[in-house]
Homo-oligomer: A and B are copies of this chain.
Amino acid sequence: MFNNNLTNLLKIDFPIIQAPMAGGITTSELVANVSNNGALGTIGAGYMSPNQLREQIREVKKLTSTNFGVNLFVPGKFEILENEVEVAKNLLDQYREVLNINEENITLPNMENAFHTYKEQIQVVIEEKVPVCSFTFGIPTAEEMKQLKQHNVTTIGTATTVEEAILIEKIGMDIVVVQGSESGGHRGTFLRGNEESLIGLMSLIPQVADRVSIPIIAAGGIMDGRGLMAALSLGAQAVQMGTAFLTCEESGAHPLHKDAIMQSKDGDTTLTRTFSGKWARGIKNKFISEMKEHENSLPNFPIQNALTQSIRKASASQNIKDYMSLWSGQSGTLARIETVEQLVQRIMDEARKING
């Protein structure tokens, strides 16, 4: 029941993947503990420099001898429109004031640099012989795929629609993560608009399963053995969980972030592009609510992300949750503060019990 093509491919005991969460949440301790407990830990490397990534890979290797993965953001084209940036900056000034941020110049992202960094990240993955690499926000090129395959890196793509999943199989990736509308954090959508790709897992998993033959990992709102069993019933071979691992003791999430999830109710999350310019699900707070009316005129990712960076940082360091991005899936009430070991064991116990 719990061991299949996918667990063989990833060399894991249990069909559980810790979702990549960028921005310091996936500490080496979290990643390694997940892998040491029979699931797959993943370094959320989206915002890391190649050197930072290399460093963390080496750190994780010291803590575990089992398989683990790295997740990369596939960069997209973007253009900096001066006027748009100016408007966004002016809107954000009130928050810099509230948080006493003195920022002379905001360094805006550079598209060439972004592509260059991404290519270097892939080289680090290959050089450090990381066994598994997952991709979000897009798919690798044919050339990149060829290189990854040559070096025996198991590749995972992220899809939010059937069409994206088919494309991921077509370019030769080994596994597809199917991200439902329930999931927290950034949407992985890369072919269609946001609304058209908000599909609940109950609908999305079986429709993808009917169209692709590579193994499916289900992601979105899954927190326990019930979710694991449901995902397997629908045609997935494993689950990927973000929020559930975010509140684990080993996670590097800010205490206020963990707290916000623990106190949240169903329906307390919303989709927003106010923080980064890309749609993401998080717990509603002052920043999201106030910026909502300007949402559609804000710059795209990663420009808006750069513009809000100091605000998010200052908010976190000053322990004010109003301006932090409190990413969370829709199942906040099912979160627990526990160790990775307790979480993995509990899920498997619950799943075995349901399985009878």
Q: Which residues of A contact B (CB under 8 A)?
A: 1, 161-163, 180-182, 192, 195-207, 209-210, 218, 220-224, 226-227, 229-231, 233-235, 265-268, 270, 329-331, 333-334, 354, 356
Contacts and interface: CB of A to CB of B under 8 A. Distances in A.
B201 A200 contact: yes
A181 B202 CA distance: 10
Contacts of A267: 161-163, 192, 196-197, 199
Nearest to A160: B267
Contacts of A223: 206
B199 A202 contact: no
Contacts of A220: 200, 202-203
Contacts of A233: 226, 229-230, 233, 354
A203 B221 contact: yes
Contacts of A205: 226
Nearest to A181: B200
Contacts of A162: 265-267, 333
Contacts of A329: 203
A202 B203 contact: no
A201 to B, nearest CB: 4
Residue with the greatest number of chain B CB neighbours at <10 A, chosen from A203, A204, A220, A223: A203
A330 B265 contact: no
Copy tally for this chain in the complex stands at 2
A331 B180 contact: no
Contacts of A210: 333-334
Contacts of A200: 180-182, 200-202, 220-221, 330
Nearest to A224: B206
A206 B334 contact: yes
B230 A266 contact: no
A158 to B, nearest CB: 16
A218 B226 CA distance: 14
A178 to B, nearest CB: 11
A289 to B, nearest CB: 12
Nearest to A208: B266
Contacts of A209: 226
A201 B342 CA distance: 25
Contacts of A222: 202
Contact of A331 (B1, B206, B265): B206
25 contacts: A1-B356, A161-B266, A161-B267, A162-B266, A181-B198, A182-B199, A182-B202, A195-B270, A196-B270, A199-B266, A200-B201, A201-B201, A202-B218, A202-B231, A203-B329, A206-B226, A206-B227, A207-B331, A207-B333, A210-B334, A226-B234, A229-B230, A230-B233, A230-B234, A233-B354
A206 B270 CA distance: 19
A330 B224 CA distance: 24
Contacts of A199: 182, 266-267, 330
Contact of A230 (B181, B207, B230): B230
Nearest to A221: B203
Nearest to A271: B195
Contact of A202 (B192, B198, B230): B230
Closest 6 CB pairs of A and B: A200-B200, A203-B221, A203-B330, A229-B233, A182-B200, A230-B230
